[in-house]
Chains A and B, each alone.
Chain A
Amino acid sequence: MADISVTEHHHSDHAPTHHVTPLWQYLLVFFALAVGTVLTVVASRFDLGMWNTPIALFIATVKATLVILFFMHVIHSTRLTWVVVIGSFLWLGVLFVLTFADYLTRSWSLY
């Protein structure tokens, strides 16, 4: 990021406030991620029927959220960054929803 050649007048009014995250917070998140991994492995040992995939996906989603919020510093970022992050996931949602709109309606009868 060293090569941002911001014009003079833009120095102060947009500069993001730099938040310094304490080390214990990183360690806590790391610990939570490790627990999540263990949970995923444990869950895979039990046959939960139709819940197998949803539970694995739920744990993965929680872990991904932690990474995005803390390791990627989104939690301390500007509103615009939040818009970008949420927007990206909405777009992924578009890909999923409209693709499944095909797969899930193929078996419907025509008339």
Chain B
Amino acid sequence: MSSLTLHDVRITGAEGSRNYINDEYGALSWLLTKDHKRIAILYLISITIMFLLGGSFAVIMRVELLTPEGDLLTSDTYNKMFTLHGIVMIFFFLIPVIPAILGNFILPIQLGAKDFAFPKINLLSWYLYIFAAAVGLYVIITGGVDTGWTFYTPFSTQYSNTHVIGVTFAGFIAGFSSILTGLNFIVTIHRMRAPGLTWYRLPLFVWALYATSVVMLLATPVLAITLVMLMFERFTGIGIFNPAIGGDPVLYQHMFWFYSHPAVYIMILPAMGVASEVVAAFTRKKIFGYRFVAFSSLGIAFLGFLVWAHHLFVAGISVYSALIFAFLSFFVAVPSAIKVFNWTATLYKASVSWATPMLYILGFIGLFTIGGVTGLFLAALGLDIHVHDTYFVVAHFHYVMVGGTVMAYLAGIHYWWPKITGRMYNEFWARLAALLVFVGFNLTFFPQFILGYLGMPRRYHAYAPEFQVLNVMSTAGASILAVGYALPLIYLGFSLRFGRKAGVNPWGAVGLEWTTSSPPPKHNFEETPVVTWDAYDYPAMMKAVGETQNV
């Protein structure tokens, strides 16, 4: 096995010795664990289940939309399908997926720490997630909910006769799970860095998770209080948001989007962090403009708070504030573009490896760019009025969320899979799956840009016959995408038993996580590492490798 011992960090544990997986046995040793790595595995299993659930709602919708008539589902059932798809995918998949799985596993190791600052709180946040998911599942089984994932008032507080209180309560609880995760990350990054690991030596994944955690801490409480007010109004009939009883429905939208726009950055910032790690590892280069990429994460986190009312352009807000929000929304493009340009500059003249994580990240960069640029279309006041509530919006945010976050998550899980499990997956099947995901994704969502521009509204189970061809294309793409997502479940599962041993550092990457054994021992390192080098010190490594080859 290749085990480059650069930087004189002592490699812990010979292969086959004790690690976090075989250190203890039995269900309780997992369910009561305080080990961040085991908690990451708990999240991996539960979030994957929620992804399959949310995906199945999408499949049902795409099958319904094969024909212009509403023949498979009633309009009421269709309303529940898109609502549940949105709620499950956003609150139970996209928000936690990268921080809670990859962040939980990798962050303390990248810091050279034994665990998070608050290991018990880390476990608590998983239990809160599970409790919220259980409430959500109860709602789904007992009839679902039909408000859309945004729970707009007064429909949600007065007119809907589905389980609004149950599902908003689930969202409320899930919010606390993410607040605790953010808190733990921030304290850990401040207090638990290995000696010598200064802020500017941190991997960019850590910077990205730090920015994400700030957003989680500052935005999520506003969602919590908004949902409480919603439940309160529905329960007591005292008017807060419902104009019929003295409330203000636009106030609900202001407060909801004060959380939910920054939530977009909770989903995409960690993805950008994964992209930086993978681009550096598979080009063998330092990330071009390290500080720009690091601070652009904080810039996005900050600016992301100042743009929320671009969701309210047709809701009756003042034209003057709409102007300001449109202007501020354009501004977020700047730090996002800084990242894209810096990744591209890193790729320039590099010998790029076509390993699976890199394939996903190349897809990520392109798809995120399309998603981001179409976001600028929507931030433009005049154009937004034309495409508002059409499939153009649906296509835009799926390019960001699926083309961006899901692609980067898949890149990250492939990149760190050898570290997490100690095994290599089958590269052929993995590349094939990456290709299928890319092709399937574009075939699913690109036609939706055209549909939306032509005027097809979102959230209807029936549509005008002239839209059918593009809808059939979209459904065909969705089935390819489904195969692309199913494949990793199979070959990654297979690798657990039949994959070859990964060794300490299968990619020849730098970073503290690649200096400890795979899977890592219970306390990550045998002795606390002392860091004397910058992040992505690939030039030094290439030099070291050259020297050993000359011997």
Contact = CB atoms under 8 A, between A and B. Distances in A.
Nearest to B190: A80
B220 to A, nearest CB: 12
Contacts of A91: 218, 305
A9 B321 CA distance: 51
A98 B320 contact: no
Query: Closest 8 CB pairs between A and B?
Result: A102-B321, A105-B318, A106-B318, A105-B320, A101-B321, A102-B317, A99-B254, A91-B218
Contacts, number: 65
A7 B119 contact: no
Nearest to B328: A98
A7 B112 CA distance: 9
Contacts of B309: 98, 102
A5 B118 CA distance: 8
B319 interface: yes
A12 to B, nearest CB: 13
Interface residues of A, number: 25
Contacts of A98: 306, 308-309, 321, 324-325
B115 A5 contact: yes
Interface string A1-14: 00111111110001
A75 to B, nearest CB: 21
A4 B318 contact: no
Contact of A4 (B117, B195, B255, B308): B117
A8 B528 contact: yes
B258 A95 contact: yes
A108 interface: yes
Would you call the interface of chain B mostly helix, strand, loop, or mixed?
helix
B306 A102 contact: no
Contact of A7 (B194, B251, B312, B318): B194
A6 B115 CA distance: 9
B120 interface: yes
Most central of B255, B309, B321, B325 by chain A CB within 10 Å: B321
7 contacts: A8-B528, A87-B218, A91-B305, A102-B250, A104-B318, A106-B317, A108-B320
Contact of A95 (B113, B222, B317): B222
A110 B319 CA distance: 8
Contacts of B312: 102
Contact of A108 (B34, B305, B318): B318
Given A95-B222, A98-B309, 8 more contacts: A5-B115, A6-B192, A80-B190, A94-B306, A98-B306, A98-B308, A98-B325, A106-B317
Given A94-B305, A102-B309, A106-B318, A5 B218 contact: no
Contacts of A101: 318, 320-321, 324
A52 interface: no
B199 to A, nearest CB: 13
Contacts of B114: 5, 7
Nearest to A14: B191
Interface string B290-317: 0000000000000001101100100001
Contacts of A87: 218
B318 A102 contact: yes
Contacts of A108: 318, 320
B263 to A, nearest CB: 15
A105 B321 contact: yes
A88 interface: yes
B251 to A, nearest CB: 8
B219 to A, nearest CB: 9
B118 to A, nearest CB: 6
Interface in A1-59: 3-10, 14
Nearest to A91: B218
A5 B528 CA distance: 13
Given A102-B317, A102-B321, A105-B320, A6 B191 contact: yes
Contacts of B528: 7-9
A101 B323 CA distance: 11
B318 A10 contact: no
B121 to A, nearest CB: 8
Interface in B87-112: 112
A110 B306 CA distance: 23
Contacts of A4: 117-118
A64 to B, nearest CB: 16
B288 to A, nearest CB: 31
B59 to A, nearest CB: 38
Contacts of B250: 102
Interface in A81-107: 87-88, 91, 94-95, 98-99, 101-106
Given A10-B191, A80-B190, A3 B119 contact: yes
A103 B253 CA distance: 13
B266 to A, nearest CB: 15
A102 B258 CA distance: 14
Contacts of B191: 6, 10, 14
Contacts of A88: 218
Interface in B112-143: 112-115, 117-120
Contact of B195 (A9, A95, A105): A9
A29 B130 CA distance: 41
A8 B254 CA distance: 47
A15 B308 CA distance: 39
Contacts of A7: 112-114, 192, 194, 528
